[in-house]
Chain A
Amino acid sequence: MLKILKYSFYDLMRSRWNYVYFVFYFLLGMVLLFLNNDISKAVITLMNIIIVLVPLIGTIFGVMYYYNSKEFTELLLAQPLKRSSIFLGQYLGVALSLSMSLILGLGIPFLFYGLFKSNAIWNFSLLIITGSFLTFIFTALAFNIALSNENKIKGFGYAILVWLLLAIIYDGVFLMSLILFEDYPLDKFSLIGTMLNPIDLSRTLILLKLDISALLGYTGAVFKQFFGTNFGLMVSFIMLTFWVIFPVFRMVYKSKRKDF
């Protein structure tokens, strides 16, 4: 598995798209800091971007990589190798290289700007951690989609649909249902609703740091326990881990049964 990981990783390191991705984040970080002159404001803007863009790039890139390297995969399948290690290796290769672009692309401008001297370092590291989590989650989802669809066009379509659903439509439906059922106690429902969407989950995680004072304005014991203590942070991280593990398991399961 490690060998396949290494191959995919080096393959991607040489690929143009990875550099584009890296340069994009690098420029984004530079421009934001240059224009804002303020790390905490830049972190807020970055959060908005990361939450939307990282999943999009993760899904599209994952699907693209799978379809592009299909011949190589088929070649590997002919060798006496375990299927799980082939797909896990490829998956980890993609996810790791994407996270590395993200971490380096954003990390370098912030480091130059004096991140260690500012008190935004915790917010920033949280941002990077959630960004990496999102990369892992959405690359896994992309591999799932690609494995289930032989047709490339269909695969891309589903990938974009999944992103659209989780990034925008889910929140819309969520908001409507909250307003519709406003006469009922909703605090548990709203927390569970957040847990079921990795994008919302990472957004809440960052909110815990940035907007804690607003979140505590809501009257509700469950909310208060969740946001007022470290409990919320822990539960969110555990759920994010589940969100990585579950699609990866399905990917392995699916790949074992797939007829190539």
Chain B
Amino acid sequence: MNNWVTFLIIISLIITSHAQNIEVCNACAVSTITAAIAQAKDYDTITIKKGTYKEHDIIIDKPLTIIGENYPVIDGESKGEIITIVSDNVSVDGLFIINVGTSYTEDYAAIRVRKSKYFVIQNVVLERLFFGIYLEKSSYGKVYHNKIIGDAVEEYNSGNGIQLWYSNHIDIEHNYVEHVRDGIYLEFSDDCIIKNNVSANNLRYGLHFMFSNNDMYQDNTFENNGAGVAVMFSKKIKMCNNTFKENWGTASYGLLLKEINDAEIKGNTFEQNTIGINIEGSNRIIYKNNHFISNGWAIKVRGACYTNSFTENNFLYNSFDISYNSHVNDNVFDKNYWSNYTGYDLDKNGIGDVPYRPVKLFSYIVNRTPETIILLRSLFIDIIDFSEKVSPVFTPDNLLDNHPLIKKMSW
């Protein structure tokens, strides 16, 4: 008999301590998310039914799983931050969060993760936001399949879609971010993987790295942003198979590199950007198997760039292939395909017999007097370009591709 009692007690203990499911709906006993969190124990699941919940400053301070059914709306009424996660092992899934407050002193976010680990944020839709998902000193988290649609007009009073600050080992995949300031922003964040995201129509950058090392981004699409991707003051970043498209404007780049060392840029497509890649103070970078198609400038080298190697890339129909503003060249250009190449291949080994000079005199002139761009493709310009090609005076004379390919690379 005594055994039975202890058994029952144990059973009941297991049941109560085991993860419970709390339902939240407008007509339920628990009608607010804040109340549900207060009631919940560690590792419980909170299911939010369809409806509108006017709440803000929801603080998740224990390991919980929060699941929205059919995208319940959480309306912050522009009063401030909406969800703040301050515990490890929290997962947020399937919510529709709108109206984050705007502040000039605090960065209000739709979902903020503060000093936590092992979190998952997925299938969340954010609209009318200031900051979207803000990860602060948090690590080992996942941000999957979220859709962030902002309405940013000016840079100074808008926030970023996904922001990482001192957050390491984060996976960001399959997100869609548009109309915010920076689509995805990493500051002091190492070892992150950013994959298969689309970042479009953002005011400043599609993706922005600051002081972040050993990160990788691949298979993303950056379209029509102020500038596609800005990588600044970072080391060992891998950039593979991304698409940079239609970043047009006076200060628009597909990819902006500033003070970057030891990076790899492989298999990317740069299409119809004003400047495909803008390089400044970047060393030991490998550019391989990239496509540069119909850009204004495929690559603009601003200065202090040493030992970079550009091999096996396709340069197709760019107005300028490379612009270079110094007389010294320490970078290697080899085995690229240049659509502007006019040489021949007599021994038929697929490599042109005459070296190609990617820097034209005209690009030097345009650097000096930008208005002269209006004379692009004029016969007179072709003549002076030709004479410069024959005997280089203004452009570095060792900047050559000694093995220009005759046929377009494909891989």
Contact = CB atoms under 8 A, between A and B. Distances in A.
A214 interface: yes
B317 A44 contact: yes
Of B251, B275, B294, B381, most A-chain CB atoms within 10 Å: B294
Contact of B369 (A171, A178, A210): A178
Contacts of A80: none
A41 to B, nearest CB: 6
A207 B376 contact: yes
B377 A174 contact: no
Contact of A216 (B248, B320, B365, B374): B248
A168 interface: yes
Output the residue of B274, B320, B371, B372 with the most chain A CB within 10 A: B371
Contacts of B381: 171, 175
Contact of B319 (A167, A168, A211): A211
A191 B320 CA distance: 21
- Among A172, A174, A214, find the residue whose CB has the most chain B CB atoms closer than 10 A: A214
A73 interface: no
B317 A217 contact: no
Given A41-B339, A44-B317, A213-B248, A218 B371 contact: yes
The secondary structure that dominates the A interface is helix
Interface residues of A, number: 41
* Most-contacted residue by chain A among B294, B339, B377, B378 (CB, 10 A): B378
Given A41-B317, A213-B248, A214-B319, A203 B378 contact: yes
B383 interface: yes
Given A179-B372, A194-B374, A216 B274 contact: yes
B368 A179 contact: yes
B226 to A, nearest CB: 13
Interface stretch (A47-55, A149-157, A235-243): A47-55
Interface stretch (A14-22, A124-132, A138-146, A182-190): A182-190
A204 interface: yes
Interface string B336-362: 000100000000000000000000000
Contacts of B297: 214, 217
A115 interface: no
Contacts of B371: 178, 182, 186-187, 189-190, 218, 220
Contacts of A47: 377
Given A41-B339, A179-B368, A213 B375 contact: no
A218 B381 CA distance: 18
Given A40-B317, A179-B365, A224-B250, A218 B370 contact: yes
Contacts of A168: 379-380, 383
Given A40-B317, A178-B372, A217 B378 contact: no
A214 B375 contact: no
B228 interface: no
A189 B372 CA distance: 11
A212 B248 CA distance: 9
B273 interface: yes
B337 to A, nearest CB: 12
Contact of B249 (A40, A207, A216, A220): A216
Interface string B121-154: 0000000000000000000000000000000000
B243 interface: no
Given A213-B272, A213-B295, A175 B372 contact: yes
B373 interface: yes
Contacts of B294: 213
Contacts of A216: 248-250, 252, 274, 296
B341 to A, nearest CB: 12
B382 interface: yes
Contacts of A51: 379
A171 B372 contact: no
B374 A190 contact: yes
Contact of B382 (A40, A48, A186): A48
A175 B272 contact: no
Contacts of A190: 371-372, 374
A190 B365 CA distance: 15
B379 A52 contact: yes
B370 A171 contact: no
B68 to A, nearest CB: 42
A182 B369 CA distance: 6
A28 to B, nearest CB: 17
A167 B248 contact: no
A176 to B, nearest CB: 10
A214 B380 contact: no
A90 to B, nearest CB: 30
A182 B370 CA distance: 9
Nearest to A51: B379
Interface string A215-231: 11111100010000000
A174 B369 CA distance: 12
Contacts of B320: 214
A167 B381 CA distance: 11
Contacts of A200: 374-375, 378
A219 B252 CA distance: 11
A44 B294 CA distance: 12
Contacts of B370: 217-220
A73 B111 CA distance: 85
Contacts of B365: 175, 179
27 contacts: A41-B317, A41-B339, A47-B377, A48-B379, A48-B382, A171-B379, A175-B380, A175-B381, A178-B372, A179-B369, A182-B371, A194-B374, A200-B374, A200-B375, A204-B374, A206-B377, A211-B319, A213-B248, A213-B319, A214-B295, A214-B296, A214-B376, A216-B250, A217-B370, A219-B370, A220-B370, A224-B250
Interface of A: 40-41, 44, 47-48, 51-52, 167-169, 171-172, 174-175, 178-179, 182, 186-187, 189-191, 193-194, 200, 203-204, 206-207, 210-220, 224
Given A171-B378, A216-B274, 6 more contacts: A47-B377, A178-B369, A213-B296, A213-B319, A214-B295, A217-B373
